[in-house]
Amino acid sequence: MYFDSIGEFVEMGGHGLYVWSAYAVAAAVFAWNVAAPVVQRRGFLRRQARRLRRERSERQQVGA
């Protein structure tokens, strides 16, 4: 592929909208695949820490 200008490259012979939107969708999917597990892990760790604090306080109340 050879383009004479940046404008022709962006336009892609009339297919630019399709090409660039496909790249955008693919980038969004890749970003989601990276971000979603990180967010889920943080939530899981937060819930587990809350559960452990609750269990410790319950044990202290029973022992007191």
pTM: 0.66
pLDDT of 22 strictly over 70:
yes
Nearest to 52 by CA among 44, 64, 62, 42: 44
Task: With cut-offs at 50, 70 and 90, classify the pLDDT of residue 3.
Answer: confident
